Chain A
Amino acid sequence: MSLSIEEVRRIAALARLRLEPAEEARLAGELSAILDYVRLLEELDVSRVEPMTHALAGEGTPLREDRVVACLSPEKALANAPAREGNYFRVPRIIE
């Protein structure tokens, strides 16, 4: 299958990736080749197979008690912020 440049742009927009035109063309080719390869899975009849939704049945995803526990302090949580203002992350203008 062949992915068009328009489709690559649509996916890049969904993924919030800005791509150079040369990258768009290259990715269109590479992704098409990978998608061709994964069509191998179409050989299999999986209509009656359950998907693996947990890696090990009977393990994990327990419920925990709903109570307050310690978490990162605001200072630690903000320590790596590219820009902050008081106890907030500062971001560029949202509404144009």
Chain B
Amino acid sequence: MSAAGLLGLSIGELSGRLSRRQVSAEEVARQALERVAATDGRVGAFLRVTPERALEEARDSDRRRARGEVRSPLDGVPLALKDILLTEGVETTAGSRILAGFLPPYDAAVVERLRAAGAVSLGKLNMDEFAMGSSTENSAFGPCRNPYDLSRTPGGSSGGSAAAVAARQVFGTLGTDTGGSIRQPAGLCGVVGLKPTYGRVSRYGVIAFASSLDQVGPLGKTVRDVALLLQAIAGHDPRDMTSSERPVPDYLAEIESGAKGLRIGVPREWLAGGAEPGVERKVRDALATYERLGARLVEVELPHSKYGIAAYYLVAPAEASSNLARYDGVRYGLRAEAKGLKDMYGESRDAGFGTEPKRRIMLGTYALSAGYYDAYYLRAQKVRTLVRGDFDRAFEKCDVVAGPVSPTVAFALGEKVADPLQMYLADVYTIGCNLAALPGLSVPAGMHEEARLPVGLQLIGRPFDEATLLRVARALERETGPLPAPGEFA
């Protein structure tokens, strides 16, 4: 076996070994912890590792198994969580200094659900501060690096969630996606990442960024792993009023059904030279594979996709400025000493927030301020209706929409930090899916031929049709296989 040892296995394979008693959950957790200790100095995927807790959960899993009370295929499987998900009694910061030392009084719904499924949590993962960013360089606690090339970013904001899977530190992770924050890092790190339909997964206990866009989702090495994780976290939760009551299907039922007979929509606007040629080539290769598998490619139009970033960078900052008003130094988080209350607010927020949250709070406050609401936020919300309409029309002609995840491969650390607008443009293909509340997935399309870095294929589906996305992604994966692990972490 490779140096990654058990960590090279898929969740399904590990689950089989656990059930055949070839290995104990405690042994798996130990190996994962050792691997994190050995590799994370270079990667920076973790903000905090919780070894005692992990080993205790693993031993609990072993005891359940001995009693014949296995809870799910995730029982005893080591995972890790983006640090935006509340974990009771375990520091949760959302990558921000303003929350350093914050000990949540309760678990996020998705954390409860993973625990109920028997999963073992190794700790909390690095991210752009408050999920604002596309490179994880906005983390207040140091950047995360791409396991395929440590001089490059893993993408963001769920960079730690993607890098931890790519470096074979854990078997799967959870991230959040507001404008591409699961799919873009998954694509740049060569793993599978899914943003479920808005409302599919509860956001109770998820630190809020932009509430009309935020969604929690899984990342894993394989499509089946991502399906298993989605199965565990999806479903109605009355504590999140945007949570859907629709029943959750069996995501594995149709996953091996292939692409034959499906119609794959290719947006004309997404392969019109906007992506770097080497990226476009891998995307076209993937589309050709689908055609060979018996799917039909149909051209679709998303004429409003060029307005997506502009709409997003009004809606998301506006909602963020409102959500981040709660960090005022009163109930939790950093408080700077000051004479009066008003100064205390200003000083605390100045000391606690990094550059990007401040920029977005300012932009959002401006866009919502008296006299500007109609021109900015309201107009952007109307444009969302147009973006959604584009997708609705596309889905009359196709079953999924396919295209690039990102216009480039992973970029170098520092390359885009000086120019916020350039960083924002990295999200050009992922944002429409959030604006339209649809499910979207990133699956490896292969390695860029010159750069030797992963390229992702993005698939976008009808509302609540995650099952078709997984099926279509699995069809490609069966042909191309998961990407080889990054050399240094194989």
Contact = CB atoms under 8 A, between A and B. Distances in A.
A7 B365 CA distance: 12
Given A18-B349, A30-B420, A51 B359 contact: no
B234 interface: no
A11 B365 CA distance: 7
Interface stretch (B377-385, B470-478, B482-490): B377-385
A68 interface: no
29 contacts: A7-B366, A14-B365, A15-B361, A16-B346, A17-B349, A17-B361, A17-B362, A18-B343, A18-B347, A18-B350, A19-B358, A20-B350, A30-B359, A31-B366, A40-B310, A44-B304, A44-B383, A46-B379, A52-B212, A60-B199, A62-B241, A76-B105, A80-B103, A80-B332, A82-B329, A89-B331, A91-B330, A91-B344, A93-B341
A33 B421 contact: yes
Interface string B398-427: 000000000000000000000011001000
A31 B365 contact: no
Contacts of B197: 56
Interface of A: 3, 7-8, 11-12, 14-20, 23, 27, 30-31, 33-35, 37-41, 43-44, 46, 49-53, 55-56, 59-62, 64, 72, 76-77, 79-83, 89, 91-94, 96
A40 B320 CA distance: 22
A79 B362 contact: no
Interface of B: 102-103, 105-106, 197-199, 212-213, 238, 241-246, 304, 306-307, 309-311, 313-314, 321, 325, 328-335, 338-347, 349-350, 353, 358-359, 361-363, 365-366, 369, 376, 378-386, 388, 420-421, 424, 435, 437, 463
Contact of B353 (A17, A40, A59): A17
Contact of B105 (A39, A52, A64, A72): A72
Given A56-B198, A76-B105, A37 B329 contact: no
A46 B369 CA distance: 21
B349 A92 contact: no
Given A52-B388, A92-B339, A96-B340, A80 B333 contact: yes
Given A16-B328, A27-B362, A52 B346 contact: no
B133 to A, nearest CB: 15
B112 to A, nearest CB: 15
B213 to A, nearest CB: 8
Contacts of B378: 51
Given A55-B242, A80-B332, A11 B421 contact: no
Specify which of A17, A20, A46, A94 lies most central, judged by the most chain B CB atoms within 10 Å of its CB.
A17
A41 B380 contact: yes
Contacts of B242: 55, 59-61
Nearest to B383: A41
B420 to A, nearest CB: 6
A92 B340 contact: yes
A49 to B, nearest CB: 4
A11 B437 CA distance: 30
A89 B243 CA distance: 32
A16 B342 contact: yes
Contacts of A12: 362
Contacts of A34: 313, 363, 420-421, 424
A91 B313 CA distance: 34
Contacts of A50: 382, 385
A17 B420 contact: no
Contacts of A41: 307, 310-311, 314, 379-380, 383
Given A38-B314, A44-B383, A50-B385, A79 B105 contact: yes
Contacts of B306: 40
Contact of A44 (B340, B341, B386, B421): B386
Contacts of A60: 199, 241-244
